[in-house]
Amino acid sequence: MRFLLDALLLSVTSCASTKVESTWSNPAFPARKIQSFAVFASTGYPTGRIEFEQKLTDALRKRGLDAIPGYQFVAYDEYPGRDEILRRVQA
């Protein structure tokens, strides 16, 4: 199964507030309808990351979008770089 990733990198500083630190997109990628989202968050603690990814995934699914939480690609205690995450998502 192949997932389309138009990268989403979020930083969550606490449960009360969210701040987007950076986003990335490939300008060479041709425009087309996104079929699936992979939701990734970066927090100071893994449980917060997993909780945020699940809540955002649930919200996207309620709106009819196919979303997959990042923890299905990155284990609880892993900290891979962007290239490794992209490799896993595209596998």
Residues of the chain with pLDDT under 70: 1-18
- How does pLDDT run across 22-38, given as a tens digit for each residue? 887 888 888 777 778 88
Burial class (CB in 10 A: 0-12, 13-18, 19+), 6: middle
Is-above-0.85 flag for pTM? no
The predicted pLDDT at position 59 comes to 92
Gap between the Cα atoms of 85 and 68, Å rounded: 13
